Amino acid sequence: MRTSDHGISLIKSHEKLRLEAYSDPGTGGEPWTIGYGHTGGVRPGDVITEEQAEMMLQSDLDDFERAVESLLPIELSQSEFDALVSFTLNVGAYSLETSTLRKRLLADEPRCWVYQKELPRWNKGRSGVLQGLVKRRQAEADLACLGYLSGPFEATAEPALGYLSGPSEVIAEPVEEDVVAFPLDVPYFYQRDSKTGHGERMCFSSAMAMALDYVDPDAIAGDDDWYINHVFKYGDTVSSAAQMAAAESLGFDVEFHTDGTEQHLLDQLDKGIPAPVGVLHKGSVWHPTGGGHWITLIGYDEKYFHVHDPFGELDVIYGGYTKAGPADGRFQKYTRENLMKRWLINGSGADGWWTEIKSGNKW
């Protein structure tokens, strides 16, 4: 396989073009780098042309493409391959070879889960976490994940990637009309890091903020903390009336329902719109309990709902949260059968609590 133009754009957007040698930002010294992240034989004071930078990049790509194919003898989509080449060019073939990422991919673990868990771990230099690496790893994870989920080992058209990686860092290809690729590229907000003092009880606001920010990013002037402070103008964060009034004041046409069916959720997701839903998150799936918890559905397949859970990773079978870190709730996959048991409580098949987002300012 060869790196696509899409993958090369991703690499260039993070490496940037440098025609004079510079020291590694993680070490303050070696390895010295030039062009688009080229390090081989580079010394302080070296200067090259843009044409030479392109030749160096192509040579590096040849090496790291062979490394990825050799170390990961599994069938990869074009987007997965592009992301893995970008990663390996940045950290080196030896790092890929010895990585838990490689071990988990070869063990045939669910790939999207592996990419979202393992790639973001590679974000540090000698001085600690580097924000440039944080953004690059997330862009690579999103690209790999979307490539894997878009179809059986083929890279279909992709939506804009990497909400954490900033605008225009990856140029998206046009999406075929009426086709929705799951999971939707919805921003993730973690309720427990809130600076409002309401982190433990703001799941409704966090779930709504994620969905609304995806529908119209210009309407949400911040994260879930910004949104919950806006909700407080209309009532308490747990109030559905306050939530609807806050959303409507921002230009959204929304309705709160207590008679939802699974088909309602599928219909909303098929339109490319996230679906905030309220579930019972405590107790076993056979006897769910609790005062309720809000999550945001961002896609589905035959077996799973793809979910952003603002609290962490829900134990859908036995209830509660065994993982509740800042990224544990991102891109979760909860089985449809069990999640519906926590959403359709009375057994009627039509009593789910959810928010229907009909339109926003941009529609």
What are the residue boundaries of the structural domains of the chain, listed by start?
5-149, 191-359
For residue 293 the two structure tokens come to 């918890």
pLDDT at 242 over 60: yes
Q: What is the pLDDT of residues 139-149, one digit of tens each?
A: 898 888 765 55
Residue 349 to residue 338: CA distance in whole angstroms: 13
Region 187-207 average pLDDT: 94
Burial of 43 (0-12, 13-18, 19+ CB in 10 A): exposed
Can you tell me the distance from the alpha carbon of 14 to that of 293, in angstroms, rounded to the nearest whole number?
A: 38
pLDDT at 27: 66
Q: Categorise residue 294: left if φ over 0, alpha if ψ from -120 to 50, beta otherwise.
A: beta
Cis status of the peptide bond prior to 183, with omega within 30 of 0: yes
Q: Locate tokens 């997965």: which residue?
A: 80
Segment 214-236, tens digit of pLDDT: 999 999 998 999 999 999 999 98
Helix axes of 224-231 and 203-215: crossing angle, nearest 10 degrees: 110
- pLDDT exceeding 90 applies to what percent of the chain? 62
Within the chain, residue ranges assigned H as helices are 5-15, 50-71, 78-91, 93-98, 100-106, 111-118, 131-149, 203-215, 224-231, 240-249, 262-270, 336-343
pLDDT band for 152, please (50, 70, 90 cuts): very low
Specify the fold of 5-149.
Answer: Lysozyme (1.10.530)
Options 3.90.70.10, 3.90.1140.10, 3.40.50.720, 3.40.250.10; which CATH number does 191-359 get?
A: 3.90.70.10
Per-residue pLDDT at 167 exceeds 80: no
pLDDT-derived band at 179 (thresholds 50, 70, 90) equals low
The pLDDT of residue 151 is 39
Would the pLDDT of 64 be above 70?
yes
54 counts as catalytic: no
Residue 109 pLDDT: 81
Mean pLDDT of all residues belonging to the chain: 85
User: What is the tens place of the pLDDT at every residue in 112-135?
Assistant: 778 888 999 898 877 788 888 989
Other Cβ atoms less than 10 A from the Cβ of 250: the count is: 17
pLDDT for 117: 84
Mean pLDDT of 56-60: 92
Q: Which stretch of DSSP H or E encloses residue 332?
A: strand 332-335
* pLDDT at site 311: 96
Q: Average pLDDT, stretch 183-203?
A: 93
**pLDDT for 79-120, tens place per residue?**
999 999 999 998 889 999 999 999 999 998 878 778 888 999
Q: How confident is the model at residue 26 (pLDDT cuts 50, 70, 90)?
A: low
**Percent of the chain residues topping a pLDDT of 70:** 88
Given the residues 15, 65, 80, 118, the one annotated as active site: 15
